């Protein structure tokens, strides 16, 4: 009988940093990144499960704290940056967690000589396009909220840090990554966890990515986004939202004058304002 198991296979990274590890996608990727690194350093501002053995390091960190993020990224080979506020909020909250936080990640990468970042951007960078228009990585951005603006800024940081310092990034404009779609919109935007895992793996190991922007969606029937400028990643999603169609189409329909039902960003396009 063979003694082979996946821990005997050489891994592409010694140590990976995962931010946002307590979140929905962070919990998924915390487990799945084990396949790519000897050690995964998992971090969040929120409480996390303790380290599972000697192949994990758990570090509590507020992304808004520059010195803490610098220490967090010590001895790391690549960063999967999922941490931050993941929905629309008041600008000041977004400023600290997402705008300052992502800046701190890139500064830490620069100072420690880390050459690859996988950045969880969002479809809300282009959320103000109508649902009947197809967009791609070269389409002018139309952020649909402060949250979408913060992701657009994160993508600009990625471009700057590549041209100035040679740090490569794949920005994942994730659609809707949940166990299942939750509404009709998500029949177009859904990204299964298996396809997310595959996308993150491609984003980590594919060579010569510069700054590549890719939409994170499964092989859904009716999609709004083209990945023609990200073909070099070799991202080939296998799941499809189609098996949920009947269930989603049976849900109550939005009102005919509901503008958010016509726009790609859905409800994010009408969120706020927060301080009137
Ligand atoms: P989530 O909200 O479940 O997880 C985000 C994590 O970031 C949380 O655990 C939170 O505690 C942490 N965080 C927030 N502020 C922080 C701070 N100042 N310092 C340190 N940690 C902080 O979000 P989810 O769904 O897991 O998304 C992960 C990433 O992917 C986010 O950046 C989100 O914007 C992005 N994304 C997710 C999509 C989805 O469908 N799940 C779609 C598009 C983008
Ligand atoms: C996002 O960017 C959010 O983080 C996530 O919670 C979903 O709402 C998703 O977009 C979406 O557009 O469905």
- Residue 8 CA to ligand 1 center (angstroms) comes to 32
Catalytic residue among 147, 153, 161, 193: 147
Considering every ligand atom shown, identify the ligand nearest to the alpha carbon of residue 151 and give its number.
1
Q: Does the beta carbon of 43 sit less than 6 angstroms from any atom of ligand 2?
A: no
* pLDDT score of 8: 61
Give the ligand 1 atom nearest the CA of 85. Answer: 14
For the domain spanning 13-269, the CATH number is: 3.40.50.720
Would you give the DSSP letter of residue 229?
A: G
C-alpha separations of 265 from 110, 127, 130, 261 in Å = 33, 4, 9, 9
Tokens of 125: 């960078």
Q: Which helix (H) or strand (E) holds 161?
A: helix 146-165
Residues 6+ apart with CB under 8 A from 119: 81, 102, 154, 155, 158, 169, 170, 171, 172
Q: From the CA atom positions of the chain, what is the Rg in Å? A: 19
27 lines ligand 2 (CB under 6 A): no
Cβ-count burial of 206 within 10 angstroms (0-12 exposed, 13-18 middle, 19+ buried)? middle
Atom of ligand 1 nearest to the CA of 97: 18
Cβ atoms of residues 213 and 141 within 8 Å:
no
Do 190 and 217 touch, CB atoms closer than 8 A? yes
CA of 19 to the centre of ligand 1 (A): 9
Q: pTM of the full predicted structure?
A: 0.97
Q: Does ligand 1 have an atom closer than 6 angstroms to the CB of 28? A: no
- How far is ligand 2, taken at its centre, from the CA of residue 83, in Å? 14
- Residue whose C-alpha is closest to residue 107's, from 143, 81, 146: 81
151 lines ligand 2 (CB under 6 A): no
Taking the chain (276 residues) in runs of 10, the rounded mean pLDDT of each run is 53 97 98 97 97 94 98 98 98 98 99 98 98 98 98 99 98 98 97 98 98 98 98 98 98 89 96 87
Instruction: Select from 268, 269, 270 the residue to mutate for testing ligand 2; criterion: most ligand atoms less than 8 Å from CB.
Output: 268
* Residue 147 known to be catalytic: yes
- Is the CB–ligand 1 distance for residue 176 below 6 Å? yes
> Three-state SS for 239?
coil
Q: What's the pLDDT tens digit per position in 213-253?
A: 999 999 999 999 999 999 999 999 999 999 999 999 999 99
Point out the ligand 2 atom lying closest to the alpha carbon of residue 147. Answer: 2
């Amino acid at each position: 009988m063979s003694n082979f198991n996946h821990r005997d296979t050489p891994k592409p990274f010694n140590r990976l940093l995962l931010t946002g590890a307590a979140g929905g996608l962070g919990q998924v990727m915390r487990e799945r990144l084990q396949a790519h690194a000897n050690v995964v350093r998992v971090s969040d501002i929120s409480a996390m499960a303790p380290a599972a053995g000697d192949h994990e390091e758990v570090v509590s960190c507020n992304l808004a704290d520059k010195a803490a993020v610098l220490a967090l990224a010590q001895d790391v080979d690549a960063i999967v940056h999922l941490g931050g506020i993941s929905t629309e909020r008041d600008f000041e909250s977004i400023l600290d967690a997402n705008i300052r936080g992502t800046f701190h990640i890139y500064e830490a990468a620069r100072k420690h000589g880390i050459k690859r970042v996988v950045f969880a951007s969002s479809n809300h960078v282009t959320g103000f396009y109508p649902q009947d228009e197809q967009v791609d990585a070269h389409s002018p951005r139309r952020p649909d909220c402060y949250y979408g603006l913060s992701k657009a800024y994160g993508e600009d940081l990625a471009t700057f840090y590549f041209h100035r310092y040679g740090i490569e990034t794949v920005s994942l404009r994730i659609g809707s990554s949940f166990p299942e779609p939750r509404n009709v919109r998500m029949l177009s935007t859904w990204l299964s966890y298996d396809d997310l895992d595959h996308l993150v793996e491609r984003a980590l190991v594919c060579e010569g990515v510069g700054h590549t922007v890719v939409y994170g969606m499964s092989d859904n029937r009716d999609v709004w986004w083209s990945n023609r400028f990200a073909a070099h990643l070799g991202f080939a999603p296998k799941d499809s939202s189609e098996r949920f169609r009947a269930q989603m189409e049976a849900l109550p329909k939005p009102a005919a004058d509901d503008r958010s039902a016509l726009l790609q960003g859905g409800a994010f396009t009408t969120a706020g304002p927060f301080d009137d």
